[in-house]
Structure 1
Amino acid sequence: MRRAPALSFLLVTVFLDMLGLGLVVPILPALLTAVTADAAGAVLWSGLLGSSFGLLQFAVAPLLGRVSDRYGRRPVLLASLGCLGVDWLAHAMTPGLWALLLFHSLAGACAGTQTVVNAYLADVVEPAERARAYGLVGAAFGLGFVAGPTIGGLLGAVDVTLPFYAAAVLCFAGAAYGWFVLPESRPGDGRTPLSLRMANPVSAIAAALSRPRAGRPGAGRPGAGRRGLGRLAYARLFADVSRMTFQSVWSFFLTFRFGWNTTHVGLVMAASALAGALFQALAVGPVVRRLGDKRAAVAGGLIGAVSLAGLAVASSPLMLYAFQALGVLGGFGSAAAQSWISRSIGDDEQGTVQGALTAIAAAAETVVPLAAGAAFGWALTAYAAPGLVFLGAAAFAVASTALLVTTPPPGSAAERSGDR
């Protein structure tokens, strides 16, 4: 691993970012329900806010990735944290739903954290250690949620807007921390062009996924090439749809299935995040080293699908906890898949391709929250079955895993044959 201290700085930044997000997750249903005075309307507005964020992220993420290749990762990351802080302040101070929609959309336009984190790690971590590094980032995300939902639930019991103020302060603190101590991982490369084509997300995605294979002269290590990266991108898309479906309705599911209050929801989410963080930090590296990127990604996807299907039929807290634990065990799959993708990209294109992949995920985020919210409301009112939507999430997880199974691992004979 090169410049190991940079990874430590990045993990702290990710932790602060996700701590702020975790603060507001358990309180969002109460806030939107109070504003709309209608539970079904609160779910739909929650989906609309998520979709607007995803739409702007889709439009801008490829350009942000390209900018990070040209000017460096650090400025994009700091701007992203600052914009998110402004968004949380707007949630706390703005009483109108349409104003919230505007600010949340603008925050989506600045949301480059995922793109920059993935590209940053590819800059400073050797390929053989990337799965472990992505696992550590997953642990930092999880640890942020350990403190976040617990504190958010407690603060929300005092004042529904208080967690949003706390989240804004943490985002600004993370940006300030990064300004002073986070080093740049990749100096700007003036040879990376910026153009109107790269500002068009559809063109940027097509260009990234149809580029010559990473093994061309000067492009870094051999990679999966056009066909392999395309399948990995679709697998990532289906996995993101599954994950976003779960995230969009999870707190509502806990509230309506078991009648839990915001404090209870926050504690359950914190316990799950703590278990996931510990597993990501301690087990991902050894598991992926033993299985390899492909087998680990496939195994994790299958375990995740079974967990989601189990949650759909969970009728007691004990069943819920058991299938949650199973989902935690499958957590190594996402780190393995991300490591696989990063090894399929040339050193000079990490930001560009990661930005395109972020845009693909954002396209799903534009549609999934609304679709999941509508499906949840329909299942709740028509069949009194709030967990039914998780079966759809499980189906997407299976589809993602099937694509991974059919994609040759980097450097294999099948991969090289498909690239010619």
Structure 2
Amino acid sequence: MLAAESGGALSLTTQEPFMRRAPALSFLLVTVFLDIVGLGLIVPITPALLTAVTADPSQAVLWSGLLGTAFGLLQFAAAPLLGRLSDRYGRRPVLLLSLGCLGVDWLAHAIAGSPGTLLVFHAIAGACAGTNTVVNAYIADVTPPERRARAYGLVGAAFGLGFVAGPTIGGLLGAVDVRLPFLAAAALSFANLAYGALILPESRPGDRTTPLTLRATNPVSAITAILRRPVLGRLAQARLCADLARMIHQATWAFFLTYRFGWDTTHVGLVIAAVALAGALFQARAVGPVVRRLGEKRTAVGGGLLSVTTFFGTAFASTPGQLYPLLTVGVLASAGGAAAQSWISGTAGADEQGTVQGGLSAIGAVAEAVVPLAAGVAFGALVAYGKPGLIFVVAATLAAASTVLLALTPAGESVRTTV
């Protein structure tokens, strides 16, 4: 049943049948989709906007790096606090705050006349970037353990579809006016905010006894507390290794295809879109049945092995005919990520899902801030030596480390300890 809380918000009890929670899950999927569409809208346009604002292409590149770094650093600093706030006050207000800040950031991009203004608003958006943290915690609240892998697979599917739609729409709107994609992204964020404010129930009322101490909310302590837990700590390490491998791939993939096979931007874009679509369909339809049959651990380990195969094979692929089967294997590997996320949620208590997800988001924010630049520099050096594929050997090694950690982790929930 939907129950009214003292503050007037609606709440979903944990005993409510899963199908009655479907509207909330649908909103979360729409939120993830629109979040990624909004980000994708501005990807092909940001260089042109910053060039127009700075009137200097070299300065535009510098400011682009500063914007990304500021966002990542503030997200790292604030993610544990946002997660803790969602445990104390509920998921709904934190999620709505994140959506509102993101909309303000895109609106600032559309109207700002100086790069300094953009930096301030983008940093604030990074500090409020709690969408992934809260969505993952919310799903753990409203979804029984046996259905979580399917739910996280649907989140992955929404991400993939947004990844395809965003850049396509952004490129079309940007051809009309360089600021139009940012207005569209802001409109999507504010529309989603209004939609959530009207229909999204609270998944758990929160616990006012959850302390907001410096130890619990600063990123270093939050990450340390996670890593000290025997099962959760190892799963967090495995996830970090897998994320590092994925980000290396994302940062260098388009450049590799252009260098190795001589593909133009249209060809590269079509291949990326096709892989993202295939991955979205697979995660939406197949992840749930696969995890029910194999279990979370075996699915996560199997997905890791497939990732290793994909990265290592890509490193030495010399023709497109060798590449396409590897892309198919990579699509199948996506089941591992949803299974691992479901496994992680099962190691955390109901009253600490936000805290745990916030700590994991902080770990991911560090990787997001460091890996693209480091991978780009390394790829450039490898191209100079005529060995660009070796960057994917690095990714394969990290994926292998993640798989080993998963294989060595005992299945089942860890002992509940205080974070």
**TM-score bin, normalised by smaller chain:** 0.7 to 0.9
Provide closer, same or farther for how the CA distance between residues 192 and 171 of structure 1 changes in structure 2, counting only shifts above 3 A: same
1:175-219 Cα deviation digits (max 9, x unpaired):
121111111111121111112222321112223444xxxxxxxxx
* Deviation (angstroms), 1:357: 1.1
Where 1:186 maps in the other structure, the secondary structure is: coil
In 1: Cα distance, 2:195 partner to 2:276 partner: 24
- For 1:373 and 1:29, the matched residues in 2 are separated by 17
* Contact 1:153–1:266 under 8 Å retained in 2: no
The match for 2:74 is: 56
Distance 2:251 2:392 in 1: 11
Report SS of the residue matched to 1:393.
helix
Give 1:371's aligned amino acid.
Answer: A
CA contact (8 A) 1:81 1:172 kept: yes
The residue that corresponds to 1:396 in the other structure is: 398
Distance 2:160 2:104 in 1: 23
In 1, distance between residues paired with 2:29 and 2:113?
34
Instruction: Report what 1:308 is aligned to.
Output: 311
The separation in 2 between residues aligned to 1:254 and 1:165, in whole angstroms, is 32
Asked whether 1:129 is paired with 2:147, we answer yes
Aligned match of 2:181: 163
Q: Given the superposition, is the C-alpha separation of residues 308 and 154 from structure 1 closer, same or farther in structure 2, using an over 3 Å criterion?
A: farther
* Structural mapping, 1:130-279, within 5 Å: 130-210=148-228, 226-254=229-257, 258-261=262-265, 264-279=267-282
Counterpart code for 1:187: P
Match of 2:126 in 1: 108
Which secondary structure state, in structure 2, belongs to the residue aligned with residue 391 of structure 1?
A: helix
- The alignment partner of 2:352 has SS state of helix
How far apart, in 1, do the equivalents of 2:116 and 2:312 lie? Answer: 35
**Alignment partner of 1:408 is 2:410:** yes
* Aligned partner of 2:302 among 287, 299, 304: 299
1:328 is matched with: 331
8 Å Cα contact 2:304-2:402 kept in structure 1? yes
1:22 aligns to what?
Answer: 40
Shift of 1:48: 4.9
Aligned mates of 1:304, 1:391 — CA distance in 2: 11
Deviations 1:227-262 (A, max 9, x none): 11111111111111112222233444455554533x
Q: Which residue of 2 aligns with 1:353?
A: 356
Give 1:331 deviation, angstroms: 0.6
**Which residue identity does 2:233 align to in structure 1?**
G
Residue 29 and residue 297 in structure 1: after superposition, are their counterparts in 2 closer, same or farther (change >3 A)?
A: farther
CA distance in 2 between counterparts of 1:316 and 1:27 reads 32
Q: Secondary structure at the match of 2:210?
A: coil
Could you tell me which residue of structure 1 aligns to residue 368 of structure 2? 365
CA distance in 1, matches of 2:202, 2:381: 48
Using the alignment, how far apart are the partners of 1:404 and 1:64 within structure 2?
A: 28
Match of 2:96 among 74, 78, 89: 78
Equivalents in 1 of 2:95, 2:364: separation in Å?
A: 18
Q: Structure 2: how far apart are the matches of 1:151 and 1:272?
A: 18
Once structures 1 and 2 are overlaid, which stretch shifts more, 237-246 or 114-123?
A: 237-246
AA aligned opposite 1:116: V
Stretch of structure 1 that moved more, 345-354 or 363-372: 363-372
What pairs up with 1:26-37 in 2 under 5 angstroms?
26-28=44-46, 37=57
C-alpha distance in 1 between matches for 2:316 and 2:113: 37
CA contact 1:26–1:251 (8 Å) conserved in 2: no
Supply the AA of the counterpart residue of 1:361.
G
> 1:272 & 1:26 partners in 2: Cα distance?
19
CA shift in 2, pair 1:378/1:37, >3 Å: farther
State the distance in 1 between where 2:104 and 2:225 align: 32
How far apart in 2 are the matches of 1:186 and 1:374? 45
Structure 1 pair 28–309 and aligned structure 2 pair: CA distance change class (3 A): farther
Runs of 5+ consecutive residues of structure 1 not aligned to the other structure = 211-225
Question: Does structure 2 conserve the Cα–Cα contact (< 8 Å) formed by 1:18 and 1:144?
Answer: yes
Q: So what's the TM-score if we normalise by structure 2?
A: 0.85
With 270-279 and 17-26 compared, the bigger mean Cα shift is at 17-26
Which 5+ residue runs of structure 2 have no aligned equivalent?
1-16
Farther off after superposition, 326-335 or 190-199: 190-199
Give 1:148 shift: 1.7
Deviation at 1:317, TM superposition (A): 4.5
Instruction: Give CA-to-partner distance per residue, 1:110-130, whole Å, 9 cap, x none.
Output: 110111011000100001111
Aligned residues: 394
Partner SS, residue 371 of structure 2: helix
* CA–CA distance in structure 2, aligned partners of residues 241 and 191 of structure 1: 36
3-state SS, counterpart of residue 190 of structure 1? coil
Displacement of 1:168 in angstroms is 2.2
Q: Which moved more, 1:334-343 or 1:321-330?
A: 321-330
Give the TM-score, by structure 1 length: 0.85
Residue 382 of structure 2 is matched in structure 1 by 379
Distance in 1, Cα, partners of 2:390 & 2:114: 32
AA in 2 matched with 1:328: V
State the AA in 1 paired with 2:142. Answer: V
Task: Indicate if the aligned counterparts of 2:226 and 2:233 stay in contact, CA closer than 8 A.
Answer: no
Measure the CA separation in 2 of the matches of 1:265 and 1:167: 24
1:313-369 CA distance string (max 9 Å, x none): 444555444332221111100000001111111111111111111111112222212
Query: Who is 1:282 aligned against?
Result: 285
In 2, Cα distance between the equivalents of 1:28 and 1:254? Answer: 23
